[in-house]
Structure formats: structure tokens, C-alpha cells
Amino acid sequence: MELLRPDMFHPACPNSVMPIRIGDKWSAMVVVCLEQGPRRFSELRVPMHITTPKVLTQTLRALERDGMITRTVHAEVPPRVEYELTSLGRALLDLIATSCRWADEHLPALLAARDAYASRTAEPVSLAAPETTSPRPGR
């Protein structure tokens, strides 16, 4: 989760711009996988198809640093480490759910737009009227 610097915003722009970004590949999915309760390292790595432990470690460390999860080491052999959502992590869960609902609702339109765009850029149509949308020189 990366913080965007306020100095990137000009006074002319609305200043209530999303100041953070869940910028990495796995964070949101890890949070969702912790929804039902604490999970061990392997219980996250294997089912999520994360091939290497390094990537999962990075993700978990970042989430722990930002107060989204706790990391608990149990003094046993073999070692057992459990990760669990904090209240802040559960709050993030709400935001993720909202994003999911948005995607459920609007993803079809987005995909349709991509198809249309691909069709438009594939063939350089010659009968476009001026003052209209996007007839650019083809690549």
C-alpha cells in the first residue's frame, strides 16, 4: 500500500483524491483469505498459487507494517506462525467488498469497451466524420 504525496495535487484539482493505493499483486487477496479467521503461512501460500515464499513474505510484512494483520509465533516444533486480520484489516475488507460489487456491476461494460476499442484500432476506418471520437493514425 503506497502513499501518494499531497504535493502531487495542484490547488486547481480537487484535493480529495485517493491518497493510498493497494498497489501490489497479492495484498487484497491475502486480506480476503484471512476473512474467515487466522491462517498459517502455508495455508496462504499453497491455495493462493503463490509460487515462491519470498513474495508471500513481502506481502505479509507490508500488511503487518500497515497494521492490517498481526503475526503470531507459537513456540512449538515444528514452528507455527499465524496471521490474523486486525480491526483495520477488517475495515479494508469492507472497501474490497465495495470494489468487488463495483466490478460485478461494471466489468461487462469495461470489457465491451475494450473489444470496441480493439476493433476501432485494428482496421483504420476511412469514413469517419470530423469532430468525432478518436481516429488516430494507426500503429
Q: Give the one residue of 42, 79, 91, 138 binding its own copies; rule: CB under 8 A.
A: 91
Report how far apart, in Å, the C-alpha atoms of 127 and of each of 96, 130, 134 are: 44, 10, 13
Binding site partner of 93, from its own copies, DNA, none, Cβ cut-off 5-8 A by kind: none
16 contributes a contact to its own copies by CB under 8 A: yes
Q: What is the distance between the terminal CA atoms of the chain, rounded to a whole angstrom? A: 35
Q: Which residues of 24-33 are buried (b: 16+ CB within 10 A; e: fewer)?
A: eebbbebbbb
Q: Give the one residue of 42, 79, 114, 119 binding its own copies; rule: CB under 8 A.
A: 114
Residue 84 CB, shortest distance to DNA, in Å, is: 12
* 21, 24, 25, 27 alpha-carbon torsion, rounded to 10°: -80
- The residue (of 113 and 125) whose beta carbon lies closer to its own copies is 113
- The residue (of 105 and 126) whose beta carbon lies closer to DNA is 126
- Residue 70 CA to residue 84 CA, distance in Å, equals 5
* Contact present, 14 and 58 (Cβ < 8 Å): no
72 contributes a contact to its own copies by CB under 8 A: yes
51 contributes a contact to its own copies by CB under 8 A: no
- Is the Cα dihedral 40, 46, 50, 54 positive or negative? positive
Contact positions toward its own copies, by CB under 8 A?
Answer: 1, 4, 7-10, 12-14, 16-23, 25, 28-29, 32-33, 35-36, 47-49, 64-68, 70-75, 88, 91-92, 94-100, 102-107, 109-110, 112-114, 116-117, 130-135
